[in-house]
């Protein structure tokens, strides 16, 4: 896993192209779930005299069966964004997983 730090420019898409894995439209290529931790951004010094906030753009399609994106906020908290394949998972299941994960982190 730490070897990935030696290749920061290698994106998931680039990796798939290099591996030349045959595509199967019935399932995701390589991995079904993805976890991402975004870099912390402080916009306060970039727009002097203006208020700015970081927000997400809703997605109509996801490349994974489950995608968790964590966004560090300037107040020290994390915003958790979850996208999932609604044909496989329901909202109650994902909310339960998030509640369990939050409980685990609090302990």
Distance between CA atoms of residues 65 and 88, nearest Å: 8
For residue 68, how many other CB atoms are within 10 A of its CB? 19
| Residue 43 confidence (pLDDT) above 70 | no
Q: Mean pLDDT score of the chain, rounded to an integer?
A: 83
Mean per-residue pLDDT, 57-86: 85
pTM of the model: 0.69
For residue 80, how many other CB atoms are within 10 A of its CB? 12
For residue 83, how many other CB atoms are within 10 A of its CB? 19
Which whole-number Å values give the CA distances from 12 to 4, 17, 52, in the listed order? 11, 9, 30
| Residue 99 confidence (pLDDT) above 90 | yes
The answer to whether residues 70 and 82 touch, using CB atoms and an 8 Å cutoff, is: no
Residues 20-39 have pLDDT tens digits of 888 887 777 788 888 888 87
* Helix (H), strand (E) at residue 52: none
**Quick one: pLDDT at residue 62?**
75
| Residue 1 confidence (pLDDT) above 70 | no
| Residue 92 confidence (pLDDT) above 90 | yes
* 37 or 44: which leads in pLDDT: 37
Render the burial of 32-46: b for 16+ CB within 10 Å, e for the rest: eebeeeeeeeeeeee
């Amino acid at each position: 896993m730490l070897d990935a730090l030696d290749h920061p420019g290698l994106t998931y898409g680039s990796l798939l192209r290099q591996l030349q894995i045959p595509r199967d439209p019935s399932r995701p290529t390589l991995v079904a779930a993805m976890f991402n931790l975004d870099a912390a951004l402080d916009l306060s010094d970039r727009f002097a005299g203006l208020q700015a906030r970081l927000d997400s753009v809703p997605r109509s399609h996801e490349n994974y069966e489950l995608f968790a994106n964590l966004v560090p906020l300037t107040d020290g908290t994390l915003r958790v964004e979850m996208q999932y394949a609604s044909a496989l998972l329901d909202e109650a299941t994902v909310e339960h997983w998030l509640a369990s994960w939050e409980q685990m982190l609090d302990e």
